[in-house]
Structure 1
């Protein structure tokens, strides 16, 4: 190929790349939904049962963290024959945090019961609540190998940061589910569940915000640094733009562009973000793919939606 032809080919590739960028920017500005971000087609029952995957995860993590025991001790029938979680254990929490997390755990039992009684249950999926599971997430979020490995059960700060990873995902999932529900009873149930999930997330974020400038020992990074990096990771894994923000944000992302505090994560109109089931799975699997299990769900989620996407 001559120099002139090479130069022309280079210009053609550059032009094609620029056109791609322009098209992507046009899609964003015009509100065009990318294929991986579109809602899925599913029944009310399947959509609500999908949420049980997050409810099981939260119930087991909170119960083990506060009490050292899980669903099999408190409400074994709700597990629907699913395998017990691995790696969960009692955390070294101060009395106030332990009391709060204990309440959260009991609330999650109620959520599982309410969903099961309303639309039927699904088997509890295999859950991995081990130190290694959380350490892998934190390493990826912080873009380094933390030394020593992050231990969610070591102290109150670590446990709250680990808790920051989970309930918000369930919250945005419920927000994304409501518009796709057809029955009034379904919308009423999900709205009630959403209210408590939002409250839990707000409490966790509020407790962490009080400690935002504290250093997470021995890593030399602040609580706010961790939350910002975790939120950035969830945005990358979800693959559908910014729907997650840490505790401290640039003023242009704060409420009415007037604050850098971000105790409640919300959009430009201070409305809750929403996510679809595929987005949720990409995040909780930690793989960025709804078809590749991992993270907290080594064998994938339960229910028709998770299993359909896995296949």
Structure 2
């Protein structure tokens, strides 16, 4: 009980900084197309019939993504991670005062019976300490982002943290627990099995890999949209923290993978990685942790840069669905709040 009180008390001590972001849209190519069209017309002879006046159909315009949109997108990923680690450490979600905001507010779907979100009975005190520290950081991120957004902060939507075979959403739909759905899709478990991330240390780490690995790529992908250096500095700080978390998780999984009979960890992680990569398009945005003979603790490109995902790709992964226009599913069974909530075709 004291641990839980201490854990929740840290929220009141979070640092607050000012932060805002703005995205800009690059437009090009129109002038070249127009020049080509005029050249064609000039080559045609005049006739007695005037050319009909054609009013061009205006191209659909997309509202620019604002700083607040990007921050709110990041905030909802933090809601997901914050609740996961909070349940693993204390058996409860984030405090009520950190869940309010614009849009629809809902709670965490914990499930019932096997696979229900709950505190993990850690057997390794080192992994327990990792979980505790990461939980503190995630709550601090939520507090920080909400402070920067002020009244524009979006509320916590429905979050599916269950590994149960089936759960009911607040809207009344029956869906599988998100962790079980992800594990089944990746072929980590059979079609009738469940994956309970709160059952033991290894499952907890695999569940952490499912979430935190995606969080790192999401922050990397948003970096190119930030124009204000002050806000870029703050975002870089969160990205670095998430990368530290991911490094701890991947290293822990690798160490366990070297210990018999847990060598199947390498295969399970690679299957999850391949499944996520299949959801977000043809580009390589995901990597496993390697094999017993060669580690891959830091997922990077050929230049040694950490991998990144666009917001669209992140949504495909957390919705567990690559369909165009998907607005809900997976870890967010009733969708997300804010203006970044739909998906289009990935490259």
Following TM superposition, the consecutive aligned residue runs of length 4 or more in structure 1 with deviations greater than 3 angstroms are 213-217
Cα offset for 1:179? 1.1
Question: What pairs up with 1:193-208 in 2 under 5 angstroms?
Answer: 193-208=238-253
Out of 140-149 and 124-133, give the one that drifted further.
Answer: 140-149
Counting helix residues as a fraction of each chain, which structure ranks higher?
Answer: 1
Describe the SS at the equivalent of 1:204.
helix
Is the counterpart of residue 80 in structure 1 residue 100 in structure 2? Answer: yes
TM-score by length of 1: 0.77
Q: In the alignment, what sits opposite 1:117?
A: 147
Cα offset for 1:296? 0.6
Q: In the alignment, what sits opposite 1:127?
A: 159
Question: What pairs up with 1:147-158 in 2 under 5 angstroms?
Answer: 148-158=193-203
Distance (Å, rounded) in 2 between the aligned partners of 1:231 and 1:137: 11
Residue from 41, 47, 50 that aligns with 2:70: 47
Describe the SS at the equivalent of 2:148.
helix
Question: What pairs up with 1:1-311 in 2 under 5 angstroms?
Answer: 41-72=64-95, 76-80=96-100, 82-87=105-110, 88-94=117-123, 95-120=125-150, 121-131=153-163, 132-142=177-187, 145=190, 148-214=193-259, 222-248=264-290, 260-289=294-323, 291-292=325-326, 293-306=328-341, 309=343
TM-score by length of 2: 0.69
| Structure 1 vs Structure 2 CA RMSD | 2.2
CA shift in 2, pair 1:283/1:180, >3 Å: same
Cα offset for 1:134? 0.8
CA shift in 2, pair 1:141/1:183, >3 Å: same
Q: What CA deviation, in whole Å up to 9, does each residue of 1:50-104 have, x standing for no partner?
A: 11111000000001011101112xxx22211522201121122222222211211
Q: What CA deviation, in whole Å up to 9, does each residue of 1:2-45 have, x standing for no partner?
A: xxxxxxxxxxxxxxxxxxxxxxxxxxxxxxxxxxxxxx951122
Greater C-alpha Rg:
2
CA shift in 2, pair 1:172/1:101, >3 Å: same
Cα offset for 1:122? 1.0
Out of 176-185 and 197-206, give the one that drifted further.
Answer: 176-185
Q: Which runs of 5+ in 1 are unaligned?
A: 1-39, 251-258
Cα offset for 1:147? 6.1
Q: Is the 2:188–2:272 contact (alpha carbons within 8 Å) kept by the matching residues of 1? A: no
Q: What CA deviation, in whole Å up to 9, does each residue of 1:241-267 have, x standing for no partner?
A: 1111101169xxxxxxxx831011111
CA shift in 2, pair 1:205/1:139, >3 Å: same
Out of 226-235 and 139-148, give the one that drifted further.
Answer: 139-148
Q: Is the 2:188–2:268 contact (alpha carbons within 8 Å) kept by the matching residues of 1? A: no
Distance (Å, rounded) in 2 between the aligned partners of 1:146 and 1:213: 27
Q: Is the 2:316–2:343 contact (alpha carbons within 8 Å) kept by the matching residues of 1? A: no
Q: In the alignment, what sits opposite 1:255?
A: none
CA shift in 2, pair 1:71/1:295, >3 Å: same
